[in-house]
Amino acid sequence: MNAIVCVDKNWGIGKNGKLLFNIPEDMQSFVLNTSYKPVIMGLNTLHSLPGGKPLKNRLNIVIAPEDEKLPESVVHVTNIKELSDYITKNDLVDKAMVIGGGMVYNTLLPFCDYAFVTRVDIDGNADTFIRNLDNLDEGFMFLYETPSRTVDIKDTEENIHAVSMQYVVYKNILNDC
């Protein structure tokens, strides 16, 4: 299992239930890296997707309370044990991608082999954060990064900013991957 996430310079990932940034290049990378794979998300992440609908061309696995009504096309699990049993039984562990939100990332990151991070060098005034993977105490080691480049982004208020971004890969050194 791996994670894919876009973070601001403070490891913020969202604000008011939405992504911090709209970066077309990053969205293309997300689609490329998650298509035809199982994606694991929480209920709020599902609701934040366009139209609140599951992502196309992916097996959508949603962690949500038992009484939550979800689209028939998603796999509904109610806890981490059910998730683990499902992805293990269906041989999905090596293919699954964790896509959010904050609680799901912070719970599942220790079980991820790699984290694919889009790092945006701006404070997005987030209200949702993930653990700082640059902190070795979190069990991840920096593996690779692309050169920084400047991109135009829209923030949650639709303001456009020219900011530096890069893709960074971290490896979980506590997992046997």
Torsion from C-alpha of 97, 110, 131, 163, nearest 10 degrees: -30
The domain locations on the chain are 2-172
What are the pLDDT digits (tens) for 1-17?
Answer: 999 999 999 999 999 99
Q: What is the C-alpha separation between 22 and 5, in angstroms, rounded? A: 13
Q: How many CA atoms lie within 13 Å of 95's alpha carbon, on the beta-carbon side?
A: 15
**Does domain 2-172 match CATH 3.40.50.300?**
no
Q: How large is the average pLDDT for residues 80-95?
A: 97
- Which pLDDT band, with edges at 50, 70 and 90, does 22 fall under? confident
User: Looking at beta carbons, which pairs linking 64-71 to residues 24 or more positions away fall under 8 Å?
Assistant: 68/43, 70/46
Q: What is the C-alpha separation between 118 and 151, in angstroms, rounded? A: 12
Q: What is the C-alpha separation between 40 and 76, in angstroms, rounded? A: 10
Tell me the whole-structure pTM to 2 decimals: 0.94
Give the residue with greater pLDDT, 99 vs 51. Answer: 99
